[in-house]
Structures are given as C-alpha cells and as structure tokens.
Amino acid sequence: MGYVKTAMLMAAMTALFMGVGYLVGGSGGALIALVVAAAMNAFTWWNSDRMVLRMHNAQPLEPGDRMGLHALTAGLARDAGLPVPKVYLIDTPQPNAFATGRNPANAAVAVTSGLIRNLTREELAGVIAHELAHIRNHDTAIMTVTATFAGAISMLANFALFFGGSRERLGLVGSLLMMILAPMAAALVQMAISRTREYAADKAGAEICGQPLWLASALEKIAMGAARIDNPAAERNPGTAHMFIVNPLHAYKRDNLFATHPATENRVAALRAMPGQRGQAPVAAEKPTSVSRIPKTRNRRRSGPWT
C-alpha cells in the first residue's frame, strides 16, 4: 500500500505541475514545463548526492575505519542484498543520518558524529538498516524528483504575473492565488510522499537488521537529540531536511500536513508492534542487548565508542 500511495502522490504532483504550466502558458506552457522539469530532474538525479554531501561537509570513511562503521554498513548491505554504499561522517553533535544517491550502485550513507556518540552499536545498526532500506526502495531518487517538481512548481507559479495568457485566464487575483496556493499544494504532496517513505523504510530497516526494537530505541534517542541540538548545515539548507531519518529542524508532534517526517512516537509504536524477526518476539527492554546480527571487526576493543 505504501508503493500505491506513493504512486498516487507522484501522479498528483505531475498533474499539478502540468496544470500550473497550462495556466501560465496554455498548452505550449504545459509542454515547456514538462521539458524543463525533465531537464531539472535529470541534472539533480545525477548530481544530488555530491551536492548534498558537500552541503553538509560530509567526509568519506574508508574500509577499516577505527569505529568499525564501514564494516557494520557492509555487513548489513550484504544482508539487504545491496552493493556496499559509500560511508560518510558529518561532524555535528546532532544525532542524525541520511542516505543519498541516484541508485543502489551509486549510493551513500552519511551519519553524524553525534549519532555515533549517543547510540549503542545495536541502535546504530538499526539506523543504518533504515537508510539501506531507503536505498533499496529507491526512495533517494523518488525524493529528489519530488523536491525538483516542488521547486519547479514554485518557479512556474511566480512567473504567472509576467505572462499575459495566465492573467487573461485567471485575472490578477487568480494569478496571485496561484502564486500562493500552487507552491503550498506542491509542498504538501512532497511532505506526504516523504512521510509515506519513512514508514516503509522503518519496516524494511527493521527486517534488514532483524530487530525492530533496535531502530525504535534509536529513533527515540535521535528525536530527543534533534529537539535540543541545532544542525547549522541543515538550517542553512532546509530543503535537505526530508532526507534525514529524523527532522533536523526540530520535529512535529503529530503527522500533520506540514511535517516532513511522521511523528517519532507513531514510528516507534509501529516498530514495537512488529512481530519479532526470525521467530523472536519483541522484548520489553528499552535497550536491545543481542548483537548476533551485527558484523564483528578485528580488534574489537579498539573499534570505537561502543566498547
């Protein structure tokens, strides 16, 4: 149902884009809008990962890093049936993470230093599994396309006053309303798609790591950290907020229309309601203790903060 809902929302975004193009420039405007959107999507689809990683000053981690982060990611990627993505570290105290890349073969997972300091190794495995689920579900490409569509709709709506055709069809008041309502409608659709994909990635991530409670516990800690610790790079680039596992700009308490992420409480409840993987029922403990699914690295005593 998540995929069906995403497809319907993507269709609504496309229809909105074509409709705004038609109102601005008639049938010719709709065609031009489609060509412009295709070019913008192609450019952002190919370059979005490099642009986003540069915005957040993400630094690559090589295999054998002292924290064992690359080994952990590689092991979970194999469990998910994915190529091993590139791994990046963002030096910011806010605990958070995101995935990016145009396809599974050209993907990257970025985690913050605050995430590593505040989570157990099991919880970190849950977060990385969530990001790998986004990659496997091609959510990184979907969200890039929807963000581009939303930006293009805003741009077209702002052109309304400069095209005689739109003024004749809508009048001055109608053109002004379109300038306000069209970008708002596009943002609502974009946010609805983002919330849908987060729920799907939570479920798939829990299945990849084998323990829903690992991710549930991690989400609670990340939400608490994001609510009290600023992320300056995210504040400078709010258009990237939907990519993070928890809203870095401070989360909403409900799944309201203007939220980029579902409420953390709702996500945790859904994870706790999942049946235990591999025949294990969910346990009541807040902190997961089993590490049987986590890949081990050599010299574990020196592997990082989880020792």
Question: Token pair of 20, please?
Answer: 């705004």
52-66, 73-87, 196-210, 285-299: range with lowest mean pLDDT? 285-299
Domain residue ranges of the chain, discontinuous segments joined by + = 2-302
Active-site residue list: 131
Q: Which residue has the higher pLDDT, 250 or 183?
A: 183
- 245 three-class SS: coil
Residue 237 confidence (pLDDT) above 90: no
pLDDT digits (tens, 9 = 90+) for 262-303: 888 889 999 999 876 444 433 333 443 333 444 443 443 333
40-44, 110-114, 255-259, 298-302: range with lowest mean pLDDT? 298-302
pLDDT recorded at residue 179: 75
Calculate what percentage of the chain has a pLDDT beyond 90.
38
Residues with Cβ within 8 Å of residue 15, at least 6 apart in sequence: none
Query: 168: part of which helix (H) or strand (E)?
Result: helix 164-209
Question: Token pair of 125, please?
Answer: 């495995």
Q: How far apart are CA 176 and CA 160, in angstroms?
A: 8
Mean pLDDT of 43-66: 86
Mean pLDDT of 78-106: 94
9-23, 50-64, 69-83: range with lowest mean pLDDT? 9-23
Strand partners, 86: 108
Question: Token pair of 208, please?
Answer: 């990849």
Residue 13 confidence (pLDDT) above 90: no
**The pTM is what?**
0.75
Residue 32 confidence (pLDDT) above 70: yes
pLDDT recorded at residue 218: 95
pLDDT digits (tens, 9 = 90+) for 153-182: 777 777 666 665 555 566 666 667 777 777
Work out whether strand 59-61 and strand 86-90 pair parallel, antiparallel, or are unpaired.
antiparallel
Mean pLDDT of 10-25: 75
Work out whether strand 107-112 and strand 97-101 pair parallel, antiparallel, or are unpaired.
antiparallel
The values of phi and psi at residue 141, to 5°, are -70, -40
pLDDT recorded at residue 257: 55
Mean pLDDT of 99-110: 92
Calculate what percentage of the chain has a pLDDT beyond 70.
75
Residue pair 257/249 in contact by the 8 Å Cβ criterion: no
